[in-house]
Amino acid sequence: MSQSRLSFVIFVLRQTALNGVLALGLTLSGSLAVMAGGDIQAGLEASKTCAACHGADGNSGVPMFPSIAGQGAGYIAEQLHAFRDGNRVNVLMSPQAKALTDTQITDLAAYFAAQKRVVKTASTDDSIPGAHLWKFGGHANTIAACAACHGAQGQGNQPAGFPALRGLTSQYVLESLMAYRNNERKTEHADIMVSIASKLSDDDMHDLAKHVATFP
C-alpha cells in the first residue's frame, strides 16, 4: 500500500441537537491536493474510447458502468492510476487504462469533472435501514455517517476528495462496498472505505446500495 497516510483535518465536529446528524468537515491529504488542472479539450479527444461504456459526457446508461461526469478530477485521476497500475482491477476497465499516459489521465479527469452529472433513473425502491445508516451512521457509533463525507444526497465533496455517489446504481455501489471489504481497491485514499466496509454486514451493504440509488 502507499506510504502516504490518510490524514484527516477535522474542521468541524458538531452534533446537531435537532436531528443528531454528525457534521464532519474532513479533507484528504496527498495527491488530490496537488492535482494540476488538465486540458479539457485534450481530455475530450482522449475520451472517445470511454464513451461506449461511460457515455459521451460521462453519464452512463448501463447499470454496470458507473457515471463519471461531474466526479472530482482528483478522484477520477486516482482511480485511473489505480486501474493502470493494477491497484484496482476490473476485466473491462483495466485494459482501458493500461495505455494511458499521466498527461492523458490528467486531461481525461479534467474533461469528465467538467461535465454535468445527470441522474437518469433515480430508484424508488428505498431502504429505511439504509437511509438511517447513511444519515446517522451506526453499529454503536463505530460507523461514521456516510452523509458526513458523501453529502446528504450523495453529491460528494470535491474539494475534500470525497466522490459523488448520486447517479450510481445499486449494483455498482454494492460491488464497490464489497470490493473495499475484500481490500480489492488499493488507492492511496481507499483506507477509510476499507475500514468502514469491514464493519458493514451484507444486509447493510444491500440497504445502503438501495438508498444511494434513490438520490435524485
Q: Contact at 8 Å (CB) between 161 and 27?
A: yes
Query: What single letter denotes the amino acid at residue 153?
Result: Q
The only residue of 44, 69, 73, 93 in contact with ligand HEC, by rule CB under 6 A: 93
The nearer residue to ligand HEC, 63 or 121, going by C-beta atoms, is: 63
**Residues between 34 and 63 that touch ligand HEC (CB under 6 A):** 49-50, 52-54
Residue 208 touches ligand HEC, criterion: CB under 6 A: yes
Indicate the SS3 state at residue 15: strand
The 10 Å Cβ neighbour count of residue 179 is 19
* Closest approach of ligand HEC to the CB of residue 124, in Å: 19
The only residue of 80, 110, 113, 213 in contact with ligand HEC, by rule CB under 6 A: 80
Residue 65 touches ligand HEC, criterion: CB under 6 A: yes
Q: For residue 153, give every residue at least 6 positions away whose Cβ sits within 8 Å of its Cβ, in sequence order, or none.
A: 166, 215, 216
What binding mask, one character per residue, do residues 135-174 give for ligand HEC by CB under 6 A, x or -?
--------xx-x-xxx----------xxx-x--x----x-
All cell numbers assigned to 23: 457534521
* Closest approach of ligand HEC to the CB of residue 189, in Å: 4
- Shortest CA distance to 123 belongs to which of 183, 80, 165? 165
Looking at residue 157, the DSSP 8-state letter turns out to be: B
Residue 30 touches ligand HEC, criterion: CB under 6 A: no
- Shortest CA distance to 24 belongs to which of 127, 143, 129? 143
Query: What single letter denotes the amino acid at residue 67?
Result: S
Query: Alpha helices, DSSP H only, in 88-137?
Result: 94-98, 102-113, 128-136
Residues at the contact surface with ligand HEC, assessed by CB under 6 A: 26, 28, 49-50, 52-54, 64-66, 68, 76, 78-80, 88, 90, 92-93, 96, 108, 133, 143-144, 146, 148-150, 161-163, 165, 168, 173, 175-177, 185, 187, 189-190, 192-193, 196, 208
